[in-house]
Amino acid sequence: MTAVKAITEKSYRLFVIYLTAGLGVITSVLQWFVPAIIHPLWFIELLLIALIEWGLMAWLLHYKNSDIKAILRHYQTTKMAKLLLFLIILATYVFAIKEHAFEFLICFLIYYVFFTVLETICLQKLVKQENQKQQPIKENEDIH
């Protein structure tokens, strides 16, 4: 079995910074070609999502030395908190500022999908890492 590179808060922070910068560059370029679907304040939207994602995943990574069940339980809690927070943000913006609601929703959903993929990849690495830690214990138990 190959070793999985450990996921830490620092490495996740770097992933978030790289993804945010990449999405920022892509959005800047798209703003020139299809300005109708890019929200005028897309950079604030992107930074808000990045900060929320980083904060919740940083909280989750504090439990990385826990049992797999505890990690998954905390992951579900962070997903629920994030979903509720994002729904509140979306509803507030759409009802308050109807002028750019479509652009806001499009940008928000695209950013959300990219950050969810990043979160899923990191969670997979975290679970594999924890499984590898528990694997030698199970093999030793079978010998006795």
Q: Please tell me the distance from the alpha carbon of residue 43 to that of residue 38, in angstroms, as a whole number.
A: 10
Does the structure show a pLDDT above 90 at 91? yes
Q: What is the pLDDT of residue 109?
A: 92
pLDDT in tens, 92-118: 988 998 888 899 999 999 999 999 898
When mean pLDDT is compared across 56-65, 85-94, 127-136, the lowest value belongs to 127-136
Name residues whose C-beta falls within 8 Å of residue 7's C-beta, 6 or more positions apart in sequence: 61, 64, 122, 125, 126, 129
pLDDT in tens, 67-83: 778 878 888 888 898 89
Name the pLDDT band for 1 (thresholds 50, 70, 90): very low
Name residues whose C-beta falls within 8 Å of residue 66's C-beta, 6 or more positions apart in sequence: 74
Structure tokens at 103: 């652009």
Does the structure show a pLDDT above 80 at 85? yes
